[in-house]
Amino acid sequence: MTRDEQTRDVGQERTLPLVILGEMVIMPRIPVPLQVGKGKSYRAMEHAMRGDREVLLIFVSEEEIEGFKGSEPQKLPPVGVIARLEEFLKLPDDTVRIILEGLERAEVGDYVQNEPFHMVRCTPRPDPRPEGPEVEALMAEVKAQVEEIISYMPEVSQEAVAFVHRIDDPGHLADVVAYGPAFEFEDRLELLNLLDPVERLRKVQRELSHQLELLRLRAKIQSDTKEALDQSQKEYFLREQMKAIRRELGEDDLDEDPIDELKRKIAELNAPDYVKETATHELKRLVQQGMNSPEAGVIRTYIDWILSLPWAKEEQQPISLQEAKRVLDEDHYGLDKVKERLLEYLAVRKLAGTKMRSPILCLVGPPGVGKTSLGRSIARALGRAFVRASLGGVRDEAEIRGHRRTYIGAMPGRIIQSIKTAKSNQPVFILDEIDKLGADYRGDPTSALLEVLDPEQNATFSDHYLEIPFDLSQVIFIATANQLDPIPGPLRDRMEIIEIGGYTEDEKLEIARGFLVPKQREFHGLQPEHMQITDAALLKIIREYTREAGVRNLEREIAALCRKVARRVAEAAEGETIAVTIDAADLPELLGPEKFSYGLAEQHDEVGVATGVSWSTTGGDTMSFEVLPLRGKGELKLTGQLGEVMKESAQAALSYVRYRAEELGISPTFFEEHAIHIHVPEGAVPKDGPSAGITLTTALVSAMTGIPVRRDVAMTGEVTLRGKILPIGGLKEKTMAAHRAGIKTFLLPKENLKDLVEIPAKVREEMQIIPVEHMDEVLKIALARPIKSASNPPLQPKSQKSGKRATPSA
Which of 517, 551, 623, 650 contacts ligand ADP by CB under 6 A?
551
SS3 string of 604-667? Answer: CCECCEEEEEEEECCEEEEEEEEEEEEECCCCEEEECCECHHHHHHHHHHHHHHHHCCCCCCCC
Question: Residue 549 CB, nearest distance to ligand ADP (Å)?
Answer: 9
Contacts of 345-353 with C-beta under 8 Å, sequence gap 24+, read 345/496, 346/319, 346/321, 346/378, 346/381, 346/382, 347/321, 349/319, 349/476, 350/318, 350/319, 350/321
Count CA atoms closer than 13 A to 639's CA, side-chain side: 10
Binding ligand ADP (rule: CB under 6 A), the pick from 68, 88, 515, 656 is 515
Torsion 735-741-746-748 (CA) sign: negative
Please give the residue whose beta carbon sits closest to ligand ADP in the complex: 370
Task: Rank residues 14 and 380 by Cβ distance to ligand ADP and give the closer one.
Answer: 380
Cα separation of 669 and 310, whole Å?
A: 78
- In sequence order, which residues have a C-beta less than 8 Å from that of residue 288 and are 6 or more positions away? none
Return the residue of 17, 197, 367, 717 that touches ligand ADP, per CB under 6 A: 367
Rounded CA Rg of the chain = 51
Alpha carbons 32 and 667: distance in angstroms, whole number: 132
**Binding residue (CB under 6 A) for ligand ADP from 29, 188, 371, 521:** 371
Give least dist CB 509 to ligand ADP, A: 12
Give the interface segment with ligand ADP, choosing from 18-26, 178-186, 548-556, 781-789 (CB under 6 A): 548-556
- For residue 307, the minimal CB distance to ligand ADP (Å) is 33
Give dist(CA 598, CA 730) in Å, integer. 23
Question: Which residue in 124, 126, 171, 368 binds ligand ADP (CB under 6 A)?
Answer: 368
Using CB under 6 A as the binding rule, whether residue 555 contacts ligand ADP is answered as yes
Q: Alpha-carbon distance 146 to 165, whole Å?
A: 9
Of the candidate spans 130-138, 240-248, 261-269, 368-376, the one that interacts with ligand ADP by CB under 6 A turns out to be: 368-376
Q: For residues 423 and 311, what is the distance between their CA atoms, to the nearest angstrom?
A: 9
Closer to ligand ADP at the Cβ: 201 or 369? 369
Site string for ligand ADP, 517-536 (x = CB under 6 A): --------------------
Stretch that binds ligand ADP, among 127-135, 157-165, 545-553, 566-574 (CB under 6 A): 545-553
Tell me the per-residue interface mask from 253 to 292 with ligand ADP, x by CB under 6 A, - otherwise.
----------------------------------------
Query: Binding segment for ligand ADP among 267-275, 296-304, 549-557, 565-573 (CB under 6 A)?
Result: 549-557
Nearer to ligand ADP, 143 or 556 (CB): 556
Residue 499 or 594: the one with the smaller Cβ distance to ligand ADP is 499
- Return d(Cα 114, Cα 112) in angstroms, integer: 7
Nearer to ligand ADP, 762 or 805 (CB): 762
Minimum CB separation of residue 763 from ligand ADP in Å reads 17
Q: What is the distance between the alpha carbons of residues 763 and 765, in angstroms, rounded to a whole number?
A: 5
Stretch that binds ligand ADP, among 159-167, 366-374, 731-739, 770-778 (CB under 6 A): 366-374
What is the closest distance, in whole angstroms, from the C-beta atom of residue 635 to ligand ADP in the complex? Answer: 44
| Minimal distance, residue 388 CB to ligand ADP, in Å | 9
Q: What minimum distance in Å lies between the beta carbon of 375 and ligand ADP? A: 8
Cβ-based nearer residue to ligand ADP, 414 or 464 = 414
Using CB under 6 A as the binding rule, whether residue 511 contacts ligand ADP is answered as: yes
Q: Which stretch binds ligand ADP (CB under 6 A): 128-136, 331-339, 614-622, 685-693?
A: 331-339
Q: What is the largest CA-CA distance in the chain?
A: 163
Q: Which stretch binds ligand ADP (CB under 6 A): 24-32, 365-373, 598-606, 787-795?
A: 365-373
CA distances from 214 to 217, 243, 244, 245 (A): 5, 16, 13, 12
User: Is the backbone peptide bond immediately before 116 cis, with ω within 30 degrees of 0?
Assistant: yes
Contacts of 355 (CB under 8 A, 6+ apart): none
693 is an interface residue for ligand ADP by CB under 6 A: no
The least distance separating ligand ADP from the CB of residue 523, rounded to whole angstroms, comes to 10
- Nearest residue to 749 via CA among 717, 710, 780: 717
The one segment of 101-109, 261-269, 550-558, 771-779 that binds ligand ADP by CB under 6 A: 550-558
Contact between 369 and ligand ADP per CB under 6 A: yes
C-beta closer to ligand ADP: residue 272 or 334 = 334
**69-108 mask for ligand ADP (x: CB under 6 A)?**
----------------------------------------
When the beta carbons of 370 and 412 are compared against ligand ADP, the nearer one is 370
- Please report how close the Cβ of residue 503 comes to ligand ADP at its closest, in angstroms: 7
How many positions of this chain bind ligand ADP (CB under 6 A)?
Answer: 18
Of the CA atoms within 13 Å of residue 212, those in its CB half-sphere come to: 17
Which residue's CB is nearer to ligand ADP, number 501 or number 608?
501
What residues are annotated to the active site?
A: 691, 734
- 3-class secondary-structure state, position 397: helix
Contact with ligand ADP (CB under 6 A) among 74, 114, 358, 373? 373
Q: Which stretch binds ligand ADP (CB under 6 A): 371-379, 392-400, 449-457, 774-782?
A: 371-379
Please name which of 774, 707, 709, 761 lies closest in space to residue 735, comparing C-alpha atoms: 761
- β partners of residue 52: none
3-state DSSP call for residue 533? strand
Minimum distance from residue 391 beta carbon to ligand ADP (Å): 14
The verdict on 58 binding ligand ADP (CB under 6 A) reads: no
Closest Cα partner for 744 from 772, 715, 720? 715
Burial 265-284 (b: 16+ CB within 10 A, else e): bbeebebeeebbebbeebbe
| Shortest reach from residue 365's CB to ligand ADP, in Å | 6
Give the residue with the Cβ less far from ligand ADP, 205 or 372: 372
* Paired strand residues for 99: 33, 87
Please answer whether residues 715 and 484 qualify as being in contact, where contact means their C-beta atoms are separated by less than 8 angstroms: no
Instruction: Mention every residue, 6+ apart, whose C-beta is less than 8 A from residue 271.
Output: 306, 311, 312
Distance CA 98, CA 751 (A): 124
Which of 168, 340 has the CB closer to ligand ADP? 340
Q: How many helices (H) and strands (E) does the chain have?
A: 30, 24
Beta-strand relationship, 476-481 and 428-432: parallel
Question: Closest Cα to residue 699, out of 650, 663, 739, 736?
Answer: 650
* Residues from 755 through 784 that contact ligand ADP (CB under 6 A): none
Choice from 80, 370, 445, 665 touching ligand ADP (CB under 6 A): 370
Question: Shortest distance, CB of residue 602 to ligand ADP, whole angstroms?
Answer: 32
346: Cα separation from own chain's centroid: 35
Report the site for ligand ADP in 467-496 (rule: CB under 6 A).
480
- Residue closer to ligand ADP by CB (options 17, 368) is 368
Torsion of CA 590, 593, 597, 598, to 10 degrees: 20
- 332-351: contacts with ligand ADP (CB under 6 A): 332-335
CB of 367 to ligand ADP, least distance (A): 4
Among 247, 552, 564, 647, binds ligand ADP (CB under 6 A): 552
Beta bridge partners of 481: 364
The string of DSSP codes covering 127-162 is PP---SHHHHHHHHHHHHHHHHHHHT-TTS-THHHH
- Catalog residues that contact ligand ADP under the rule CB under 6 A: 332-335, 367-373, 480, 511, 515, 550-552, 555
